[in-house]
Amino acid sequence: PITFFRKDYKAPNHRISRTDLTFTLNPSRTKVASRLQFQSWSESNPDNLPLELDGEDLELEQVLLNGEKLDATHYTQTATGLTIHKPGREGVLEITVYIQPDQNTRLEGLYVSNGNFFTQCEAQGFRRITYFPDRPDVLSQFMVTLIAHEATHPVSLSNGNLVEEKKLGEGLHMTRWEDPFLKPAYLFALVAGQFVCQEETVQKGNGQPALLQVWVEPGNLDKTDFAMQSLKKSIDWDRTRFNLDLDLDRFMIVATADFNMGAMENKGLNIFNTKFVFANPELATDVDFENVESVVGHEYFHNWTGNRVTCRDWFQLSLKEGLTVFRDQEFSADMMAEGLDVAQADSARAVKRIEDVKVLRAAQFPEDAGPMAHPIRPDSYQEINNFYTVTVYEKGAEVIRMQHTLLGETLFQRGMQIYFDRHDGQAVTCEDFVGAMETALQEEHPELDLKQFRHWYSQAGTPEVLASWKQANGELELTLKQNCRPTPGQASKPAFHIPVKLGFVDVATGRDMPLALKGDSSALHGDVLDFTQASQSFVFTGLDKPVVPSLLRGFSAPVVLQSAHNTDDLIFLAGHDNDPFNRWDACQKIYGKAILDIYLQRGQTDGANTQAAVQIVGNLLKDTQLSDGFLALALQLPGEGTLLESFDGLVDPVAMHFARTTLRDLLACTYAADFKGIYEARHTPGQPYEYNAVAASQRALKNVALAYLVAAGGDDELNVAKAQYAAANNMTDRMAALSNLVHNGPANPPELAEFFERFSKEALAVDKWFMLQATVPASNESVDTLGMVSELLKHPSFTLKNPNRARSLLAAFAMQNPSVFHSHSGEGYALWADLVIELNTINPQVAARMARGLDRWTKLVPALQESARKQLERIFNTEKLSPDVREVIGKALD
């Protein structure tokens, strides 16, 4: 396999000032004619530099240079590209190729979905469309002509503005699109086929109108309202919070059922997985609604952070992704807090923060501890598609968030302004972003810099922070130590600059004490402490009365904090911390300790931590001040993935599942009456459904209570779930009820069949149906999940060709159902390996995602490691293994 290194970056020889593309669209054989105007960048040696174009799986018809046909001695054609030996200082290159969109099951480049044409070019899909310098630092002006049959493909779209439209005869029609902005090829898009749209005109900041459209296949218009609203909110939010306006006359979203990931920010023509567009009460859960809003926001925000300023090379991916995730997280938080008073808004924002940190801990921490660990700005890759990771995205967003914490909102926004002033229209690096933030910081604080902070870009691994303290004579000495375990290629790492947001909570009053550092106070900025050394002590003064430190408030850095809090401290923080995130986190810590105790003591529940967990839940249930959204989160136990990762030793995921279930059942029995009360107070069948943050959190809490009720109960409680299913007028309640029935009740409840029949024409609901069955845990003894998954693979509605469907069974089973996947028979791994191997030939990118299922196999108990290795090796030795899957499995086996 070829490894690409960040240090090998070389600027291109040529720029392509203008790109004209003409597509004659035909599903089995599409003609792509390009006309590239190129100029050499070099002054000194202009004529001899070859023009290097990427290209894969293209049938080359002809090449013309300045109007003259080139014979094959003037260029070199390989399996990966075309090099024009002596193109001259500048000129016009015309190339004609043919491609086969309907054979494209990889869904990269131009492909056909349900008869319609779509493209996906990021990261390197454009080279599957035509020969071109397919690298993000070549920015060109695109003019696109689309020719298609009017009967089959009446709508044809590309980036920018529609400048011409006409009939051509013989049933053909053409549209011509001009994108006013320079862009790299990865932001190119085209869509053609049968579509209908919902549209609206809005006013831009400069008073000019902009046309917004959401395009879907016929029959789906009733699912587009929410996406359109989300788009309008995103536009308003970016203008008010970031002072960034829509720069286009036309902004389109198109939904397709066949898509490798969530969505794509192509300039002016975003292409979305239907999963992140379609939303109506019948079909979408509250979580789906929330996701639609956040992904619509994310792609829209890319228009500035990604498109106006793009990446120099793919090692810089986090430049746009980390920043844009940070922006979409802030957008969602602001939307959740909209219209609430200050205290409620704080708690609503904390709910969003908790949700984001849960994802980070469940998915990114394991990645950072495993064979695929990489810095947010990787140093090397074999297949770039494997680096669209939770590290680049979510940890990348944390690294931006830390800069926001260090600078504060005002200076951070100043840094954004400097960033755009310097780099609008350019392809730049992560360093350029930090540089802009550093300039903003130093305008106010010339003595500060982000020098050490930059390690967050270059070092992988989750730092561990140890915190201990002594309080005496009115002073509290806080000692912090940091350590980051080795990751592939990085044995030891210099200390990180870790912003520790903190407070000292007065035990008597529950109030925060003022923060004052003894002596040199330059490490404290407001309530944020700069922790910069391997070991560091800070003495705080003015603390006469006993306090409990609350550290890393709001999760101010992506680290694992091991604090010296004892059980009483944690119970106190769970009830009194003035930082809602840390209140939640104190609950999680106790639950985690309790589950580990139960795990280590083979099911015993008489330990002190278990008692503390029971006490905490009792306190939470009594606290009338808590919002439903917060309470719903605080009552939920840490996920199995997070638990496995937090245990320092080899683990048995099946036993861990049972330990977690034991605590859940104990809590459920202890507080059955309270859960019933919560449930009944919030279960209002017949009330019309509305999606908004408040109503959604009511439903969330209600359904958490339902899960506890069912966990502790017998038939009566299952009947509560059955009744909720029967009365449901929305997907949130329907799915919550059904998942309790399927996960905790007898095999094949009638509701499962009813659900399939009701929604058999709605692909996204059918995905949910598969997913529910693939996630039945080992603790449900009446279901043989593995057997059921094998049967479901043969279901007429199942196909590995559709990524959503493949994920609904395979990812659900291998990544969201540890107690079955890691079953001691090894059958789970074998089934997973079969499917990865099959998917490898269909869609390498999706296969490589699924292949991550055993990333953490060396953390398993020896017997499981042995079965895991066997399957990993079986995959690795498969013929025609794609580079995508090879990289993932190869690194796991290394």
Nearest-angstrom CA–CA distance, 494 and 268: 43
Considering only 262-270, 349-357, 411-419, 578-586, which stretch makes contact with ligand B3K by CB under 6 A?
262-270
- Grouping H, G, I as helix, E, B as strand and the rest as coil, residue 503 is strand
Q: Which of residues 311-340 bind ligand B3K (CB under 6 A)?
A: 321
Considering only 33-41, 295-303, 695-703, 782-790, which stretch makes contact with ligand B3K by CB under 6 A?
295-303
**Residue 294 binds to ligand B3K (criterion: CB under 6 A):** no
Q: What is the DSSP string of 621-682?
A: HH-TTS-HHHHHHHTSPPPHHHHHHHSSS-B-HHHHHHHHHHHHHHHHHHTHHHHHHHHHHH
Beta bridge partner(s), residue 19: 36, 142
**Residue 733 binds to ligand B3K (criterion: CB under 6 A):** no
Nearest-angstrom CA–CA distance, 517 and 540: 5
Q: Return the sign of the alpha-carbon dihedral for residues 471, 472, 477, 483.
A: negative
Q: How far is the CB of 5 from ligand B3K (least distance, A)?
A: 20
Considering only 46-54, 294-302, 607-615, 661-669, which stretch makes contact with ligand B3K by CB under 6 A?
294-302
Q: How far is the CB of 302 from Zn ion (least distance, A)?
A: 6
**Residue 123 binds to ligand B3K (criterion: CB under 6 A):** yes
Shorter beta-carbon distance to ligand B3K: residue 258 or 321: 321
Nearest-angstrom CA–CA distance, 777 and 822: 11
The residue written with tokens 């709508």 in the block is 155
Q: How far is the CB of 4 from ligand B3K (least distance, A)?
A: 15
| Active-site option among 122, 265, 293, 299 | 299
Q: How far is the CB of 181 from ligand B3K (least distance, A)?
A: 17
Q: Which of residues 473-492 bind ligand B3K (CB under 6 A)?
A: none
Considering only 195-203, 269-277, 318-326, 636-644, which stretch makes contact with Zn ion by CB under 5 A?
318-326
Q: How far is the CB of 304 from ligand B3K (least distance, A)?
A: 13
Considering only 317-325, 599-607, 676-684, 741-749, which stretch makes contact with Zn ion by CB under 5 A?
317-325
Q: Are 159 and 179 in contact (CB under 8 A)?
A: yes
Q: How far is the CB of 380 from ligand B3K (least distance, A)?
A: 17
Nearest-angstrom CA–CA distance, 180 and 172: 26
Question: How far are the Cα atoms of 237, 368, 496, 637 from residue 559, in angstroms, in the given order?
Answer: 30, 11, 10, 20
Out of 264, 323, 651, 766, the only residue in the binding site for ligand B3K (CB under 6 A) is 264
Considering only 13-21, 314-322, 712-720, 816-824, which stretch makes contact with Zn ion by CB under 5 A?
314-322
Q: How far is the CB of 661 from ligand B3K (least distance, A)?
A: 36
Q: Are 64 and 138 in contact (CB under 8 A)?
A: no
**Residue 122 binds to ligand B3K (criterion: CB under 6 A):** yes
Nearest-angstrom CA–CA distance, 821 and 854: 10
- Grouping H, G, I as helix, E, B as strand and the rest as coil, residue 421 is helix
Q: How far is the CB of 880 from Zn ion (least distance, A)?
A: 31
Q: Which of residues 337-366 bind ligand B3K (CB under 6 A)?
A: none
Residue among 369, 372, 366, 365 nearest 891 (CA): 372
* Half-sphere exposure of residue 712: CA atoms within 13 angstroms, side-chain side: 19
Partner whose binding site includes residue 852, from Zn ion, ligand B3K, none (CB under 5 to 8 Å by kind): none
Shorter beta-carbon distance to ligand B3K: residue 54 or 640: 54
Backbone angles phi, psi at 564, to 5 degrees: -80, 15
Shorter beta-carbon distance to ligand B3K: residue 515 or 848: 848
**Which amino acid would we find at residue 687?**
Q
Shorter beta-carbon distance to Zn ion: residue 327 or 583: 327
Shorter beta-carbon distance to Zn ion: residue 260 or 324: 324
Partner whose binding site includes residue 258, from ligand B3K, Zn ion, none (CB under 5 to 8 Å by kind): none
Burial of 409 (0-12, 13-18, 19+ CB in 10 A): exposed
Q: Which of residues 376-395 bind ligand B3K (CB under 6 A)?
A: 385, 388
Decide the pairing of beta strands 75-77 and 512-513: unpaired
Q: How far is the CB of 385 from ligand B3K (least distance, A)?
A: 4
Q: What is the DSSP string of 292-331?
A: HHHHHHHHHHHTTBTTTBEESSGGGHHHHHHHHHHHHHHH
**Residue 298 binds to ligand B3K (criterion: CB under 6 A):** yes
SS3 percent helix, strand, coil of the chain, rounded to 5, is: 45, 20, 35
Shorter beta-carbon distance to ligand B3K: residue 385 or 804: 385
The residue written with tokens 């009330």 in the block is 687
Helix axes 862-876, 827-842, angle to 10 degrees: 20
Is 299 designated active site? yes
x-or-dash pattern for Zn ion, window 608-647, by CB under 5 A? ----------------------------------------
Partner whose binding site includes residue 264, from Zn ion, ligand B3K, none (CB under 5 to 8 Å by kind): ligand B3K
In sequence order, the 6+-apart residues with CB closer than 8 A to the CB of 754 are none
Secondary structure element (H or E) that encloses residue 815, with its range: helix 812-815
Give CA torsion, residues 375, 287, 585, 488, to 10 deg. -20
Token pair in block for residue 589? 């810590």
Interacting residues toward ligand B3K by CB under 6 A:
122-123, 261, 263-265, 298-299, 302, 321, 385, 388
**Which of the residues are catalytic?**
299
Interacting residues toward Zn ion by CB under 5 A:
321, 324
